[in-house]
């Protein structure tokens, strides 16, 4: 019983607006309903396609290949999946493509499994089994008429009518392959998407030219499905979530547009073009590895605009637009990592939600549910019997207990924006818990979207060399876990994740990830040669392969395979400080140049340790450029100043807000403070995004200070407290003077 004067209705407006009953969000007029069709085994990237509609029927059949090696082809009748054919299990299917004679419906099914390519008719009859001469498993495949393009890790092979035509060895891993449409261009132009952030355009067995892209490309697709009007337009998606369009004219490429991944969404796994809106223009359909499905359309200047997104709970491995569920209603079909085939259909939901109206569970649904239930009952009985048998075997002294490996989809990548690593673990069934162990000091950061309960355990660095032990206890139905890790350059070792899924008999799998000595460095295509550089020179009796393996050990994103030729050069950029590193090496000698003296110092320590381990006599010499230290300090200066200012501003926000509330307005404040209040949300967000940024900068300046004098042979560790004092009341000139003076 409340007798306080009721607030008049007008009161509820303004910032504290009362919203009664949450309404379902409608995304810019595009309303799609989710339908889950079937679940097959775990799927790889690009393994689901829609067969072209044939005959009288307008609905299309779906064909999907999974990691159990099974190809499933089905259609939808009255909401139920009706199988067309299903093959027997075999080697894991890595790609599934459609093909056929040029200018006819592309309805022959080709799958790549192991080193073999198999072909099936749309009715499931096998007409081709082509055992290639590749020694590795096929990673990517493209089919155009009688031409077959295959890629293993580093190798590209072109076959025509199953006969070897061309061959190319790429400098880094190939993620995807595409060929510009032969019908339009009358020549074969294969394009390789390579891990070293390059698209390589081939002609025959030779490299025509390379195109740099902003991230490691993970998928390629022809624009509008046919390469656009010119037939030369190719869409690419990167594993750090960027998207772009490039026109490959014969002589040179033209970058049309690029979308940065500002929302920090997952990497792109699949792209398709389809007119889902029905306005006569094809939209862009994107599937990401964090389960986000996006639809872009194009504005008047032909730039893409995000129009719709939908979150599935796991990686989207394939995506295609078409008509599957019901005649007359287009939909977006997606397959996910654990094998779900899900449709987002334009068919309106035949239920009128809202109060009073009874929910109608359609007959189809009812049938589907009851058949599933009975199927489950049978399975349950069978499982119980088997479980009993398994238990019994534990009494025998000769029996063994072997549980097959479950599949773990993992990704460990460096984020350029905040110089931290993200580790993504995805399992086909729900995860029970994950144990994270590291033998180097690293920080584990909280990720907002995780619901798992994290608990840090006490560590014993001696004698068990544990620097981090943490458990993630996952909530029910969590199949995907994302972790963020901050490493320190110079401290290297191994991070291990023990993943235990919720499945009987309980097993866990361990995955290892290298934290490299120069863990914050990233490959780049070019560097600024005008900077003052320090040089480290190695000479000794080592082979090209040996020094390459050392570089692989020290730096991320270097291909494991020794590069072709006698000599190679890689460029790197420090994602945190923007300093650079150039490494050039050949048999017997190596040169490492960096404007950051700490980078050189770390390399020197690690390389000499590695060489000693292999008992190789190494002569190390270095050429230190004093100016480089001040140069690095100048590089750090704007970052440090920005962070200090940000911290100061954030500190003021609360006080200013209180003033604002008390005074009712903020006209009396000086513009600077008013500005802080206006940007408060943005500032707080920025501050939250970069925790411990300042501490990291301080740490790097300290390293720089120690390293500068280490090369001179003096130990200045005793002066570090003094340095920290100077940093506390930071002034650029004072800092530089301190660096110069302390000799």
Partner 1 sequence: MQSNQDSDISLLNINQGVSCLTSGVLNPQLGYDCLLVGTQTNLLAYDVHNNSDLFYREISDGANAAVLGMLGDISSPLAIIGGNCALQGFDHEGNDLFWTVTGDNVRSLALCDFDGDGKNELLVGSEDFDIRVFKEDEIVAEMSETETITALSPMYGSRFGYALSNGTVGVYDKTARYWRIKSKNHAMSIHAFDLNSDGVCELITGWSNGKVDARSDRTGEVIFKDNFASSIAGVVEGDYRMDGNTQLICCSIDGEVRGYLPGSQEMKVNLMDSTAEQDLIRELSQKKQNLLLELRNYEENSKQIELSTQVNEADGQRGVIPANTQLQTALSVNLGADSQSAHVELCISTSNDTIIRAVLIFAEGIFEGESHVVHPNLQNLSGHIRVPLTPPKDVPVDLHIKAFVGYRSSTQFHVFELTRQLPRFSMYALSSPDSVPHPLSFVNFTISERVQRVVMWLNQSFLLPEDAEFQSAPFQVCFTFLRDAGQLCIKMKPCGEISVSTDDIDLAGDIIQSMASFLAIEDLQVEADFPTYFEELRKVLIKVDEHHTVHQKLTADMADHSNLIRSMLVRAEDARLMGDMKNMKKRYVELYNLNRDLINGYKIRCTNHTELLNNLKAVNQAIQRAGRLRVGKPKTQVITACRDAIRNNNLNMLFRIMRVGTASC
Residues of span 326-345 touching partner 1 by CB under 8 A? 338-340
3-state secondary structure of 706: helix
Task: Specify whether the CB–CB gap between 318 and 287 falls below 8 A.
Answer: yes
Q: Which is closer to partner 1, CB of 36 or CB of 641? A: 36
Q: Which is closer to partner 1, CB of 503 or CB of 624? A: 503
Q: How far apart are CA 111 and CA 64, in angstroms?
A: 10
The CB density around residue 179, as the number of other CB atoms within 10 Å, is 22
Q: How far apart are CA 600 and CA 89, in angstroms?
A: 52
**Tokens 């796991």 appear where?**
314
Which of 390, 553, 709, 738 lies at the binding interface for partner 1 (CB under 8 A)? 390
User: How far apart are CB 367 and partner 1 at their closest, in Å?
Assistant: 11
408-415: strand order across its sheet: 408-415, 420-427, 480-486, 443-445
Q: Which is closer to partner 1, CB of 41 or CB of 181? A: 41
> Rule CB under 8 A: which of 492-511 touch partner 1?
498, 500, 502-510
Distances in whole angstroms, Cα of residue 709 to Cα of each of 307, 491, 598, 717: 56, 20, 11, 10
Task: Specify whether the CB–CB gap between 201 and 212 falls below 8 A.
Answer: no
> Rule CB under 8 A: which of 85-124 touch partner 1?
none
The CB density around residue 94, as the number of other CB atoms within 10 Å, is 20
Q: How far apart are CA 42 and CA 508, in angstroms?
A: 18
**Distant-in-sequence, close-in-space partners of 366: CB < 8 Å, separation ≥ 6:** none
HSE-CB of 568 using CA atoms within 13 angstroms: 18
Q: At what angle do helices 626-663 and 732-741 cross, to 10 degrees?
A: 150
Which of 33, 652, 677, 742 lies at the binding interface for partner 1 (CB under 8 A)? 33
**Is residue 300 part of the contact set for partner 1 (CB under 8 A)?**
no
Which of 306, 469, 652, 716 lies at the binding interface for partner 1 (CB under 8 A)? 469
**Is residue 36 part of the contact set for partner 1 (CB under 8 A)?**
yes
User: How far apart are CB 158 and partner 1 at their closest, in Å?
Assistant: 36
Q: Which is closer to partner 1, CB of 144 or CB of 428? A: 428
User: How far apart are CB 389 and partner 1 at their closest, in Å?
Assistant: 7
Q: Which is closer to partner 1, CB of 210 or CB of 482? A: 482
Of 194-202, 206-214, 393-401, 412-420, the segment contacting partner 1 by CB under 8 A is: 393-401
Which of 164, 386, 663, 740 lies at the binding interface for partner 1 (CB under 8 A)? 386
Q: Which is closer to partner 1, CB of 405 or CB of 741? A: 405
User: How far apart are CB 358 and partner 1 at their closest, in Å?
Assistant: 5
User: How far apart are CB 323 and partner 1 at their closest, in Å?
Assistant: 20
**Is residue 29 part of the contact set for partner 1 (CB under 8 A)?**
no
**Is residue 3 part of the contact set for partner 1 (CB under 8 A)?**
yes
Which of 162, 187, 254, 372 lies at the binding interface for partner 1 (CB under 8 A)? 372
Q: Which is closer to partner 1, CB of 205 or CB of 392? A: 392
**Is residue 6 part of the contact set for partner 1 (CB under 8 A)?**
yes
Q: Which is closer to partner 1, CB of 263 or CB of 506? A: 506
Q: Which is closer to partner 1, CB of 389 or CB of 529? A: 389
Q: Which is closer to partner 1, CB of 80 or CB of 116? A: 80
Q: At what angle do helices 720-728 and 732-741 cross, to 10 degrees?
A: 170
Q: At what angle do helices 597-613 and 544-554 cross, to 10 degrees?
A: 130
User: How far apart are CB 193 and partner 1 at their closest, in Å?
Assistant: 30
Q: Which is closer to partner 1, CB of 366 or CB of 608? A: 366
User: How far apart are CB 718 and partner 1 at their closest, in Å?
Assistant: 31
Residue 463, preceding peptide bond in cis (omega within 30° of 0): yes
**Is residue 150 part of the contact set for partner 1 (CB under 8 A)?**
no
Task: Specify whether the CB–CB gap between 723 and 737 falls below 8 A.
Answer: no
**Is residue 456 part of the contact set for partner 1 (CB under 8 A)?**
yes
Strands annotated E in 170-303: 174-179, 190-194, 198-203, 206-212, 217-222, 233-238, 243-248, 253-259, 268-274, 283-288, 292-298
Q: How far apart are CA 589 and CA 446, in angstroms?
A: 43
Distances in whole angstroms, Cα of residue 400 to Cα of each of 395, 397, 505, 692: 10, 8, 13, 50
**Is residue 348 part of the contact set for partner 1 (CB under 8 A)?**
no
Q: How far apart are CA 336 and CA 41, in angstroms?
A: 10
- CA nearest 480: which of 429, 425, 433, 435? 425
Q: Which is closer to partner 1, CB of 356 or CB of 713? A: 356
What sign results for the dihedral spanned by CA atoms 692, 696, 698, 699?
Answer: positive
User: How far apart are CB 716 and partner 1 at their closest, in Å?
Assistant: 33
**Is residue 351 part of the contact set for partner 1 (CB under 8 A)?**
yes
Q: How far apart are CA 306 and CA 316, in angstroms?
A: 18
Residues in the chain: 743
**Is residue 609 part of the contact set for partner 1 (CB under 8 A)?**
no
- CA nearest 295: which of 62, 46, 30, 37? 30
Distances in whole angstroms, Cα of residue 457 to Cα of each of 198, 246, 441: 42, 49, 14
The CB density around residue 674, as the number of other CB atoms within 10 Å, is 15
> Rule CB under 8 A: which of 395-454 touch partner 1?
395-406, 428-430, 433, 435, 437, 439, 446, 448, 450-454
Which of 22, 25, 26, 670 lies at the binding interface for partner 1 (CB under 8 A)? 22
Which of 39, 87, 91, 584 lies at the binding interface for partner 1 (CB under 8 A)? 39
Q: Which is closer to partner 1, CB of 370 or CB of 715? A: 370
**Distant-in-sequence, close-in-space partners of 616: CB < 8 Å, separation ≥ 6:** 540, 541, 542, 546
> Rule CB under 8 A: which of 256-285 touch partner 1?
none
User: How far apart are CB 32 and partner 1 at their closest, in Å?
Assistant: 12
Q: Which is closer to partner 1, CB of 163 or CB of 613? A: 613
User: How far apart are CB 645 and partner 1 at their closest, in Å?
Assistant: 25
Q: Tell me the site size for partner 1, rule CB under 8 A.
A: 104
User: How far apart are CB 17 and partner 1 at their closest, in Å?
Assistant: 7
User: How far apart are CB 141 and partner 1 at their closest, in Å?
Assistant: 27
User: How far apart are CB 59 and partner 1 at their closest, in Å?
Assistant: 20
Of 457-465, 594-602, 695-703, 714-722, the segment contacting partner 1 by CB under 8 A is: 457-465
> Rule CB under 8 A: which of 510-549 touch partner 1?
510
**Is residue 463 part of the contact set for partner 1 (CB under 8 A)?**
yes
């Amino acid at each position: 019983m409340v007798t306080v004067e009721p607030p008049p209705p007008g009161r509820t407006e303004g910032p504290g607006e009362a919203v009664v009953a949450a309404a379902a969000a409608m995304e810019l007029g595009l309303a799609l309903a989710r339908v889950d069709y079937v679940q097959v085994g775990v799927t790889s990237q690009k393994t689901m396609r829609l067969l072209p509609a044939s005959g009288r029927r307008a609905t299309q059949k779906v064909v999907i290949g999974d990691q159990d090696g099974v190809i499933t082809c089905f259609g939808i009748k009255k909401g139920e999946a009706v199988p067309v054919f299903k093959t027997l299990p075999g080697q894991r299917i890595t790609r599934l493509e459609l093909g056929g004679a040029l200018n006819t419906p592309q309805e022959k099914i080709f799958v790549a499994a192991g080193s073999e390519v198999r072909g099936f008719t749309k009715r499931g009859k096998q007409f081709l089994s082509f055992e290639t001469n590749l020694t590795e498993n096929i990673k990517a495949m493209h089919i155009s008429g009688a031409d077959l393009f295959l890629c293993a890790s580093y190798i590209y092979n072109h076959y025509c009518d199953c006969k070897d035509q061309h061959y190319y060895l790429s400098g880094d891993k190939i993620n995807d392959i595409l060929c510009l449409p032969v019908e339009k261009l009358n020549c074969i132009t294969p394009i390789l998407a390579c891990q070293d952030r390059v698209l390589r355009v081939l002609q025959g067995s030779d490299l025509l030219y390379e195109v740099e892209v902003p991230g490691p490309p993970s998928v390629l697709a022809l624009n509008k499905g046919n390469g656009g009007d010119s037939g030369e337009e190719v869409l690419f998606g990167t594993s750090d979530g960027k998207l772009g369009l490039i026109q490959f004219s014969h002589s040179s490429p033209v970058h049309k547009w690029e979308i940065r991944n500002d929302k920090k969404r997952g990497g792109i796994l699949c792209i398709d073009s389809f007119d889902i809106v029905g306005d006569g223009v094809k939209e862009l359909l994107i599937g990401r590895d964090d389960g986000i499905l996006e639809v872009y359309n194009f504005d008047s200047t032909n730039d893409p605009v995000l129009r719709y997104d939908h979150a599935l709970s796991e990686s989207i491995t394939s995506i295609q637009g078409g008509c599957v569920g019901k005649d007359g209603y287009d939909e977006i079909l997606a397959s996910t990592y654990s094998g779900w085939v899900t449709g987002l259909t334009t068919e309106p939901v035949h239920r009128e939600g809202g109060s009073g109206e009874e929910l109608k569970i359609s007959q189809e649904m009812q049938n589907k549910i009851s058949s599933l239930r009975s199927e489950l009952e049978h399975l349950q009985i069978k499982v119980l019997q088997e479980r009993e048998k398994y238990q019994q075997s534990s009494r025998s002294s000769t029996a063994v207990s072997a549980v097959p490996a479950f599949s773990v989809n993992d990704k460990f990548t460096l984020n350029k924006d905040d110089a931290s690593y993200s580790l993504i673990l995805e399992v086909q069934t729900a995860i029970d818990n994950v144990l994270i162990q590291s033998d180097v000091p690293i920080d584990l950061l909280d990720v907002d979207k995780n619901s798992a309960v994290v608990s840090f355990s006490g560590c014993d660095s001696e004698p068990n060399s544990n620097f981090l032990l943490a458990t993630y206890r996952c909530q029910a139905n969590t199949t995907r876990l994302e972790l963020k890790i901050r490493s320190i350059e110079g401290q290297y070792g191994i991070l291990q994740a023990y993943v235990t899924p919720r499945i009987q008999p309980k097993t866990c799998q361990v995955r290892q990830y290298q934290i490299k000595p120069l863990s914050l460095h990233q490959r780049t295509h070019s560097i600024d040669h005008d900077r003052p550089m320090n040089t480290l020179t190695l000479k000794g009796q080592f082979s090209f392969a040996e020094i390459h393996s050392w570089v692989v050990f020290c730096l991320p994103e270097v291909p494991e395979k020794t590069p072709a030729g006698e000599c190679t050069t890689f460029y790197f950029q420090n994602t945190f400080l923007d300093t650079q590193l150039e490494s050039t090496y050949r048999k017997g000698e190596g040169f490492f140049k960096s404007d950051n003296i700490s980078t050189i110092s770390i390399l020197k320590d690690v390389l000499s340790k590695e060489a000693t381990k292999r008992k190789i006599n190494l002569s190390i010499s270095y050429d230190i450029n004093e100016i480089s230290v001040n140069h690095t300090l100048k590089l750090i200066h704007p970052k440090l100043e920005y962070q200090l200012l940000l911290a100061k501003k954030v500190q003021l926000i609360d006080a200013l807000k209180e003033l604002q509330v008390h005074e009712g307005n903020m006209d009396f404040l000086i513009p600077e403070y008013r500005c802080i209040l206006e940007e408060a949300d943005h500032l707080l967000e920025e501050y939250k995004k970069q925790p411990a940024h300042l501490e990291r900068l301080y740490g790097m300046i300290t390293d720089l200070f120690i390293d500068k004098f280490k090369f001179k042979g003096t130990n200045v560790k005793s002066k570090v407290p003094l340095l920290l004092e100077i940093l506390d009341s930071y002034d650029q000139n004072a800092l530089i003077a301190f660096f110069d003076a302390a000799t």
